[in-house]
Structure 1
């Protein structure tokens, strides 16, 4: 068995097709098929079921993918760790984030980090919680920052940093933005921006609507991209349910005076438990903890004020 077999399984499981894996690995489809046959012959089991819409991992494929990603993550960390030991002032950390962590915590933590380690490189990747957990397991991401979900797998550790309420947000020029009181009935007729159906926030919102005898809005856009959400709110009469801190410091957005009882979350970080933190990752984790404490206390943060 060779390293290329592990890389192949990671790509196949992530992309769900031979075509997608070939594109990701920059090889031809016959090469992907041949290497997969080689690996299945070595293991003596079928790793994927072939179908008209692609491939699906078998029980063996799921198990082997987890181990392959763990090995790849360890190799990636080993190379980076040696590089950082060779030059302790440098290094690189990759942070994955989704909506709850992208607007305030991540930017402030980066400011805090760069003031103390100016030569340390930082890459921020946005994605869905599910895709980021895969990247974390595979070592493509060092830490995931955002809303915390359930207990998760044994090889990850979720650490809450602060709690954040969900609020109804509109553009500052929205007809409802000047109201001192807003009810659910007032929201009818306006288009909504909702997170994807696979997200926990979407599920909580649908439960909230159902609890008030309402159907989820039919006139809606689904996205978790903060830049897209913000621009749609500014330029249209759309409504969104977002973390409250998103609209707190943005003069072009407004939080409506309406309660979403039962809808909220903890913002925190998720780390892999089966590998040692690199010095760069440890530095970012320290900055995340420091900035999160300031956010929880309601302080703007000295680093942000000076920036």
Structure 2
């Protein structure tokens, strides 16, 4: 079915005359008459009764007009939706972030974006770095934020911030006295760690390996909050992001243990599929990220 013919038929039927349809479409009456005749021949039915004054849809014409009205209403709705999307009146943005970034760095950014663009639906999935990369490759999220080591050639990694890992202990722990810990003493300390696949764990292990320290974790916990609470009991130490322990350090429920000759800094990455299309929502969101 020729949609141009259908639009001419709809305009004429709605106006009740060939001349009225021609005025609405800004084309000549002869062109309208010719197109309508071609449309009726193609369909094999008479759509309009030609009256002394104007036209009137036949039974077939009334049937087709109902479909035409719905079709062009949907077309107008689609155009409006695309316009809204471009203007960020609607849309959806799925974000994945590793624990430190998702739990302690992105919430303020998400809140600011939401205030500016309330029509965009936001979702945040907090997983370890390995899982974030897998979700990006599977197309389950639009953008990821990772704190681990670059591992996939299919993904584009852009540093958007930096972080430091600090060794934390309970305030009453013998090593929290203020004296710096030697690397040899660190090797004998029980440490809590995230599971394999965690960016924090991968960066910690690499930094310690560079100092010839290879540790087996005393306990593996999948939650940063669980690690902090366990460290606070005094049974072990842990390396965590300084971002993740700001509140506890300020409150005095955890303390930082300095290690001689060891400082663990790491880049934090914004991760996307290479050559991925930036939706209007994603492009706007990137503008809310802090400048390095």
Q: TM-score interval w.r.t. the shorter chain? A: 0.5 to 0.7
Question: Residues of 1 paired with 2:160 and 2:235: CA distance?
Answer: 33
Q: Residue 163 of structure 2: SS of its match in structure 1?
A: strand
Deviates more, 1:174-183 or 1:240-249: 174-183
Question: Residues of 2 paired with 1:202 and 1:278: CA distance?
Answer: 33
Quote how far apart the aligned CAs of 1:257 are.
Answer: 2.0
Q: 1:104 to 1:96 in 2, by over 3 A?
A: same
8 Å CA contact 2:149, 2:203 repeated in 1: no
Q: TM-score, normalised by structure 2?
A: 0.60
Match of 1:192 in 2: 191
Q: Deviations over 1:120-161 (max 9, x none)?
A: 33221122222211211222111111215326323x211101
Q: Which runs of 5+ in 1 are unaligned?
A: 1-80, 297-307
8 Å CA contact 1:167, 1:256 repeated in 2: yes
Match of 2:37 in 1: none
Q: TM-score, normalised by structure 1?
A: 0.57
Match of 1:216 in 2: 215
Is the aligned partner of 1:170 residue 2:136? no
Match of 1:111 in 2: 111
Q: 1:281 to 1:260 in 2, by over 3 A?
A: farther
Quote how far apart the aligned CAs of 1:203 are.
Answer: 4.5
Give the number of the structure with larger relative contact order, counting CA–CA contacts within 8 Å between residues 6 or more apart.
1
Match of 1:246 in 2: 244
Match of 1:44 in 2: none
Match of 1:264 in 2: 265
Q: How many residues in Structure 1 have an aligned counterpart in Structure 2?
A: 209
Q: Residue 136 of structure 1: SS of its match in structure 2?
A: helix
Q: 1:255 to 1:84 in 2, by over 3 A?
A: farther
Question: Residues of 1 paired with 2:171 and 2:102: CA distance?
Answer: 21
Question: Residues of 2 paired with 1:217 and 1:271: CA distance?
Answer: 33
Spell out the pairing of 1:46-61 with structure 2 (5 A cutoff).
Answer: none
2:230 pairs with one of 221, 229, 232:
232
Question: Residues of 2 paired with 1:166 and 1:86: CA distance?
Answer: 40
Match of 1:182 in 2: 181
Quote how far apart the aligned CAs of 1:236 are.
Answer: 4.2
Q: Residue 259 of structure 2: SS of its match in structure 1?
A: coil
Q: 1:149 to 1:211 in 2, by over 3 A?
A: closer
8 Å CA contact 2:147, 2:199 repeated in 1: no
Match of 1:99 in 2: 99
8 Å CA contact 1:169, 1:256 repeated in 2: yes
Q: Deviations over 1:138-188 (max 9, x none)?
A: 22111111215326323x211101222221122444443342433345556
Quote how far apart the aligned CAs of 1:240 are.
Answer: 1.0
Quote how far apart the aligned CAs of 1:261 are.
Answer: 3.0
Quote how far apart the aligned CAs of 1:86 are.
Answer: 8.4
Q: Residue 133 of structure 1: SS of its match in structure 2?
A: helix
Question: Residues of 1 paired with 2:220 and 2:148: CA distance?
Answer: 23
Structure 1 vs Structure 2 CA RMSD: 3.1
8 Å CA contact 2:162, 2:267 repeated in 1: yes
Question: Residues of 2 paired with 1:211 and 1:150: CA distance?
Answer: 18
Larger radius of gyration: 2
Question: Residues of 2 paired with 1:83 and 1:126: CA distance?
Answer: 31
Spell out the pairing of 1:62-101 with structure 2 (5 A cutoff).
Answer: 82=82, 85=85, 88-101=88-101
Match of 1:135 in 2: 135
